Each structure stands twice: as C-alpha cells, then as structure tokens.
A = this chain, B = another copy of it.
C-alpha cells in the first residue's frame, strides 16, 4: 500500500502544477479554456507525470526539476483522449464516468481544446525548468516528446488502431499498435524524467525500454480489465472492446495468455532498470502496478 500513498502524494503535486499551467476561463477564449480545464481535471491517475517524477528521482534528480514538464505529459495525454473520443474516431460519450469533451462542449470546441492542450504542452516543455544552462535539455525534451507523440509514435498508433477495426482482428498489428498508441508516451515520461536528472545516453535508452515494456503491459491489462471488471470499477461501460470486435490481446490470445504476457513484460521492464539507479523500489512498484491494479 506504500505505492498508493506515493501515487496520491505525487498526483496532488501534479494537479497543483496543472492548475498553475492552465489559465483561468475568461476573456474571448473563455469557452476554449473551459473545455481544456474540463478535460484535464476529470480525476485521472496522472500516471505519466508520476512516471516522469519517479524516473527523475531514481536518477538522483529532484521533483522540482521535472514537475512542469511532467504535468505537460498529462496535457498531451488529455489531448489524445479528447481527439480519440470524437465521433469520427472511437465515438465515446463517456470518459471517467462523465460526458466526453465533445458531448459537454461541442465537437469544434473539443477538437480545438485538444489542439490547444498539445500546443501548451510544448510551450511548457520549452520553458521549464527555467535557467539559461538548461536550454539544451529543454530543446531536447521538446524533440523527444514530439518524436514519441507524433506520426511515428502515439498519433501513428492511433491511426493504426482505427485502421485495424477495418481488417480481420487476426491481421491487426497488435503489438505495434499498443507500443505506439500507449507505449510511446509512457516511454517519453520516464525519458523526460531521466533527461532532466542529467542521466547518461545509455541510461536514457535503458529507461526507455522500461517505459515501453510497462506501456505494453499496461495496455494488455487494460484490455483484460475491460472484459473482467464491473462498470463501477472501470468508470466506463465494460465489454465495449469485445462488442465492437476490437483487436486486443484477450480477444486474440485469451485472458490467461494475456495475463502471462503482461507478467513477462513487467519482468522485462524490471530488467531494463539501469544499475546506476540506486533506489529502484518506486520504478519497480510502478511496473507491478501496471498489471496489479483493479482499474
């Protein structure tokens, strides 16, 4: 239970930072800002920011060094959820038990709020942490985040996921999709933390492998939970993937084999934590959390 207390404490710090990054909903852009805030403050776990913080600390950095960029990861995650929920994409009415952004504010508002959140994320990563001596890390952080979030990362994975719905489930490039759609941003999270802690190139590469494996384990567990949990625990309608014939690990390999694969990935994530990390306990607990959580 120590991890839950850690997660909760970090989540609060991240929420405070998000509050300070998102402008109040006033002026001619009020409706846009309101849509952005609605989507960001909807009770998420802040897993990506927490991973960035944990990674920064594991490499000897302080929380302040990466808190703002960590919060920016949540802005990117939120933008991807808003766009993913749109009628032209997954067409979801509910997210975390509340109407999705386009249901609550309208489709144009949702599209533009997503655009604005992604843009704000890059502004934050380019300007924080402050200090002339850190400019090169900030520029590298922007490049790293953009590569992980772009056409060869998250956005590429999202389109491949949608395209997969139009092919026989057995032919969908499942692992590629998960590694990009979910894994890329989780990898970016631990990379950003390590980068701002001043980790070496080798350590950055290792921790990226940790993030990629954890991301895939996380996605497989999500799909397992979608089949086995109640709506109350899940915060959304369970069994939706099954009904829509979506290609998932449980659909293709069954629940047991999927759970085993998730366990194997957790082991490989643990294995990827570099030796230079003196306190691997939190990173290890977060990797276990990817498969052990109830929702």
A contacts, CB < 8 Å to B? 23, 28-29, 31-33, 36, 79, 83, 86, 88-89, 106-109, 111-112, 114-116, 118-120, 122-123, 125-127, 132, 135-136, 138-140, 142-143, 146-147, 149-152, 155-156, 158-160, 162-163, 173, 176, 180
B146 and A119 form a contact (CB under 8 A): yes
**Quick one: which of B116, B132, B160, B180 contacts A136, CB cutoff 8 A?**
B132
A-B contact pairs, 22 of them (CB 8 A): A23-B151, A23-B152, A28-B156, A28-B160, A28-B176, A31-B159, A83-B115, A88-B111, A89-B111, A116-B155, A118-B119, A119-B150, A119-B155, A120-B150, A120-B151, A122-B122, A122-B142, A122-B146, A126-B140, A135-B139, A136-B139, A139-B139
Closest chain B residue to A33, Cβ basis: B151
Closest chain B residue to A118, Cβ basis: B118
A108 and B89 form a contact (CB under 8 A): yes
**Quick one: which of B32, B132, B146, B160 contacts A126, CB cutoff 8 A?**
B146
The binding surface of chain A is classed by DSSP as helix
Interface-central residue, A123, A127, A176, by most chain B CB under 10 Å: A123
Q: How many angstroms between the C-alpha atoms of A94 and B160 in the bound complex?
A: 26
Known: A126-B142, A139-B139, A143-B127. A159 touches B108 (CB 8 A): yes
B135 and A123 form a contact (CB under 8 A): no
Q: How many angstroms between the C-alpha atoms of A118 and B160 in the bound complex?
A: 19
Closest chain B residue to A89, Cβ basis: B108
